[in-house]
């Protein structure tokens, strides 16, 4: 029996993207017609899971004109959405591709604050879910003035409901989440260093840092993203390293979220850790091949998964 999935996005957005011939300061630039796509960590995970044939309940904050557009875009993709209404406007991001050399410029705007009352009501809404999903993904940044401790309360609710919690965020929010103890976390090497209270890590000292967190109950699985080099998975079973295939990178938007979706798809179907890492890298890499803010094509994922280089395994000690 496959497992059920919930994604939670506290700081969703509309990704507005366009192309311009060349970016030149102080000159009026003629852009192509804009393209609007839904964005935000958990939302992208749900969208990617849909492409892998897996349905996820998708909870996100929604406010104002942009929030309504976000809801409409997600309905068009036939996601199971549960927008949580807030008073402030949902944010936008702006992405411009310079056609002359295919450079991408990404402009991210901050999410406006969610009031304390809205935060309390959101926690109550999550706690009131009757049949709680087996896996909960809390992904993306926090809006302005939302304290990272809010994540702690949310994680505690999910764990009380016996849901496996997967976290993909950064900064203090990531630190607080990991201190609470989660099932899976996906830091990059700099974030793993911060979690380990180190100024930096080498690939040699990465093993020690990841295993220390696992032994102290901070996470059952840690997948350290190494960008174009692939990723390393750590668990009590040991260490698995998977390099990424060389592809033409068009955009990195949504690649991390796609990687999470790929890993979750294997958890849903009760696959093993080797499959989890392979599928994560296949999905993340396939998204870098997509134009603008688009996510992967399923046929690209299938092709990459079959042709990934051999994994390297060890005890990680």
β-strand partners of 92: 14
Cα–Cα distance for residue pair 290/286, rounded to 1 Å:
7
Of residues 207, 257, 300, 302, which has the active-site annotation? 257
Output b/e per residue, 135-155; b: 16+ Cβ within 10 A: bbbbbbbbbeebeeebbebbb
257 included as an active-site residue: yes
**Which residues are identified as catalytic?**
257
């Amino acid at each position: 029996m496959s497992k059920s999935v919930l994604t939670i996005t506290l700081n969703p957005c509309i990704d507005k993207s366009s192309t311009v011939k060349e970016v030149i300061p102080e000159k009026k630039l003629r852009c192509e017609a804009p393209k609007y796509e839904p964005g935000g960590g958990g939302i992208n995970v749900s969208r990617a899971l849909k492409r892998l044939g897996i349905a996820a309940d998708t909870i996100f904050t929604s406010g104002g004109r942009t929030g309504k557009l976000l809801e409409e875009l997600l309905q068009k993709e036939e996601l199971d959405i549960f927008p949580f209404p807030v008073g402030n406007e949902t944010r936008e991001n702006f992405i411009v591709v310079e056609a002359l050399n295919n450079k991408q410029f990404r402009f991210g705007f901050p999410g406006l604050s969610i009031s304390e009352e809205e935060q309390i009501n959101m926690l109550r809404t999550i706690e009131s879910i009757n049949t709680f999903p087996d896996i909960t993904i809390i992904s993306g940044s926090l809006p302005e003035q939302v304290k990272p401790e809010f994540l702690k309360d949310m994680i505690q609710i999910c764990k009380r409901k016996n849901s496996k919690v997967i976290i993909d965020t950064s900064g203090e929010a990531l630190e607080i989440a990991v201190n609470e103890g989660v099932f899976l976390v996906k830091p990059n090497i700099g974030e793993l260093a911060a979690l380990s209270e180190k100024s930096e890590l080498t690939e040699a000292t990465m093993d020690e840092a990841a295993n220390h967190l696992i032994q102290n109950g901070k996470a059952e699985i840690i997948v350290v993203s190494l960008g174009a080099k692939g990723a390393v998975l750590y668990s009590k079973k040991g260490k698995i390293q998977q390099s990424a295939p060389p592809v033409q990178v068009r955009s990195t938007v949504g690649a991390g979220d796609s990687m999470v979706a790929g890993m979750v798809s294997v958890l849903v179907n009760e696959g093993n850790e080797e499959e989890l890492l392979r599928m994560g890298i296949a999905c993340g890499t396939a998204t870098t091949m997509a134009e603008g803010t688009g996510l992967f094509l399923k046929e690209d994922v299938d092709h990459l998964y079959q042709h990934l280089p051999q994994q390297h395994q060890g005890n990680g000690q």
